[in-house]
Amino acid sequence: MNDTLLIELLTEELPPKSLSKLGLSLREQMQKALADAGFIEATNAGLWFATPRRLAVQFPNCRETQPDRTVEKKGPAVASGVGADGKPTKALEGFMRSAGVEFVQLEKVNDGKADYLVARQHKTGEPLALHLAPMVEAALKKLPVAKLMRWGSREVQFVRPVHGLVMLHGARIVPGEVLGLASRNVTSGHRFMSVDVIDISHADKYVQLLATEGHVIACFATRREEIRKQLDAAAAKRNLHWLQDDALLDEVTSLVEHPTVYEAEFEPEFLSVPQECLILTMKANQKYFPLMDGTGDQAKLTHRFLVVSNMKVADPTNIITGNARVVRPRLADAKFFFETDKKSALAGRREKLDRIVYHNKLGSLGQRVERLVKLAGRIATHLHTDIAAAERAAMLAKADLVTDMVGEFPELQGIMGRYYALHDGETAVVADAIEAHYRPRFNGDRLPQGNVACAVALAERLDALTGFFGIGQIPTGDKDPFALRRATLGILRMLMETPLPLDLGTLIDEAAAGFAPGVLSTDYRAGLLDFIRERLRHFLRESGHDQNAVDAVLAQESLRIDQVPARLAAVKAFAALPEAAALAAANKRIVNILKKTEASTAEIDIALLQEDAEKNLFAAVTAATPGIESQFANGDYEGALKALAGLRSAVDTFFDKVMVMAEEPLTRANRLALLSQLAGLMNRVADISRLSA
């Protein structure tokens, strides 16, 4: 009989930041286990539910009994399983014992490489009750839980104490024990709004019963959307906007079972504090949603905020006033930190950085600031921007790290530096560069605006990359403790999207020059450039660019990252030409020929050109070269590549009529020199041989 299977684990409050992951993982583990055992189809994804005090899954059309099936178990290869005497070896005997078969029951199968032995057994379908509890136990052990705990006198472990287990198949309790608890058909609802105990008469009625009798929205996604709708409605009443934050919305969804949104407020006098401070303390400490007047960068914080409560009451006065009372000390602390910090200028805090270790091999934070000042000044020189402003911003960029506000809220570094710099009378350019030098902070974040800000932001990342690669602290696998991948992406985005006409090799060398002699190894540079190119390759592919086009452009190993987008666009346009495939194939052939020979770099000797086809190719290359070189020099990469289309006929005829590897040495060398000149012309923008399949 097929019916709906319900599994629920009733717990104490689960970790809110990982609740959705736990629910989704439980569904995935149980789906695989049930499908592998034949109780559900592999395509039956089921449903998952997660609230602060429960994890649950539901699978429709679950079989009460497995279908009969043949189980195949692969054994050793025939060569190692059967001896010269035709009898099983020790290895095969062990396999037969584990599979529960005799030698005569084994079958020989070829997998295309070798013959191996398999044991096939017909198994009669077994009931769900025999398998479900062990499946649930195994699934719980595979959940993404960082730390387990024990409770009471039992030895069982889970992320939080477990108080109830439901395993229902339709209306029938599936007997079994998980984490020391026997399965039942009863659960609990909301701590305060629910009836005492909820009897689940049928697995299909789980969600409905929790909602009507338990006042619990079991589905995480449904509860999240309900909170969003209530936030929208509450903000619209004031003609305001709640501050969108998906991470906070997920966390709040994980904290409530019956969400109700209320509006509260704080004293307007706190708005004298930078709004970033108030927003952060409301979100991080209280899980409130600030109400904003306007949207985007122009949005201004109001003195109102929204609270997502786990209770719906007729008179919410106590909830509203209670939350207003709770947030007030937090805002007062922020105001105190801000007013106290303003009493000391940023420049006066600079010497405190000398006492903070940046890295034991790379010196103090103060020494790092000295490097940033020099490097930002050099980059500003290349960008023909205000050198003094760039150096001043770099000198003050890290000073807010020793303020009370950033000490309390590290997320505000840079942001508070800007506010304090403006208070100290620094120019807007310097203040903005202090805030922007941390950008982009994350994928998709906006870039620093203006050359001064870019100079400081580049210096920040180049110093880190050069320093850590120079001492051998290179990211490996998933480990990147100094966020060097993110720093690299920031550099690449600034150079390409701003764009900035800077040579990456020069930037790395100037960053390295800031370190004392002997600090950096002598052989890190090539590895660092390879690392940056691979991050660039990954970024471009993730951005949707054709893989062959990316490989063609990056094969040139150009250090002018700002030119990459234009080169990619040119390669894309060239690939669409009817001549592209033939020229790419010819170029690939040329590259392969030149790899196998020592092509002469001498000038082509016209007197040695014998065949009409090679004379025509020489003439075509000679005529096309000035225009293509001019277009390349002016950044017209698309024009340069399109001009190559005119060479197709001459190239095709050359390979049809001319024997490149002539027996006569001078003739052969001359033809190789012609191909070398052609290859150089064809590959000025990108290695178009990479476009050939």
pLDDT band of residue 549 (cuts 50, 70, 90) is very high
Contacts of 217 (CB under 8 A, 6+ apart): 51, 210, 211, 223, 226, 257, 258, 259
Angle between helices 451-470 and 525-542 (to 10 degrees): 120
Q: Please give the average per-residue pLDDT across 124-141, as a whole number.
A: 94
Q: Please give the average per-residue pLDDT across 276-292, as a whole number.
A: 95
Q: Please give the average per-residue pLDDT across 258-281, as a whole number.
A: 96
Phi and psi torsions of 214, nearest 5°: -100, -10
Token pair 């100290």 is at which residue?
424
Q: Please give the average per-residue pLDDT across 33-41, as a whole number.
A: 94
CATH tag, 347-544: 1.10.3210
Peptide bond into 499 cis (omega under 30): yes
Q: HEC profile for 236-249?
A: HHCCCEECCCHHHH
pLDDT at 601: 61
Asked which of 199-208, 367-376, 672-681 is least confident by mean pLDDT, the reply is 672-681
Token pair 């966020």 is at which residue?
483
Q: 178 burial class (0-12, 13-18, 19+ CB within 10 angstroms)?
A: buried
Q: Please give the average per-residue pLDDT across 515-527, as a whole number.
A: 94
pLDDT at 114: 82
Phi and psi torsions of 658, nearest 5°: -115, 135
* CA pair distance 670, 678, nearest whole angstrom: 12
* CA pair distance 659, 643, nearest whole angstrom: 26
pLDDT at 600: 55
pLDDT at 99: 81
Q: Please give the average per-residue pLDDT across 665-681, as a whole number.
A: 88
pLDDT at 107: 85
pLDDT band of residue 39 (cuts 50, 70, 90) is very high
Q: Please give the average per-residue pLDDT across 292-316, as a whole number.
A: 93
Helix (H, G, I), strand (E, B) or coil at 634: coil
State pLDDT tens for residues 317-343: 999 999 999 999 999 999 999 999 999
pLDDT at 73: 85
Q: Please give the average per-residue pLDDT across 97-111, as a whole number.
A: 84
Asked which of 108-122, 134-148, 332-346, 450-464 is least confident by mean pLDDT, the reply is 108-122
What's the whole-model pTM score?
Answer: 0.79
* CA pair distance 510, 499, nearest whole angstrom: 20
State pLDDT tens for residues 349-384: 999 999 999 999 999 999 999 999 999 999 999 999
**H or E element in which residue 260 lies:** strand 260-265
State pLDDT tens for residues 222-250: 999 999 999 999 999 999 999 999 999 99
State pLDDT tens for residues 388-416: 999 999 999 999 999 999 999 999 999 99
* CA pair distance 35, 41, nearest whole angstrom: 6
More confident residue, 592 or 170: 170
Structure tokens at 424: 């100290």
Contacts of 85 (CB under 8 A, 6+ apart): none
pLDDT band of residue 693 (cuts 50, 70, 90) is low
pLDDT at 71: 76
**What is the architecture, at CATH level 2, of domain 564-691?**
Orthogonal Bundle (1.10)
Q: Please give the average per-residue pLDDT across 116-120, as a whole number.
A: 85
CA distances from 42 to 68, 126, 127 (A): 17, 18, 18
Contact 664, 605 (CB under 8 A): no
Please determine, for residue 152, whether its predicted confidence score (pLDDT) is greater than 90. Answer: no
* CA pair distance 39, 28, nearest whole angstrom: 15
State pLDDT tens for residues 587-646: 888 888 888 876 556 688 898 998 999 899 999 999 999 999 999 999 899 998 888 888
pLDDT at 599: 55
* CA pair distance 324, 339, nearest whole angstrom: 22
**Pairing between strand 260-265 and 300-309?**
antiparallel
Q: 303 burial class (0-12, 13-18, 19+ CB within 10 angstroms)?
A: middle
Give the DSSP per-residue string, 492-503: HHHHHHTT----
Query: Domains of the chain: which residue ranges?
Result: 2-66+127-212, 77-123, 220-335, 347-544, 564-691
Q: What is the mean pLDDT of the chain?
A: 93
Asked which of 31-35, 263-267, 688-692 is least confident by mean pLDDT, the reply is 688-692
Structure tokens at 540: 């471009």
Fill in the DSSP letter of residue 462. H
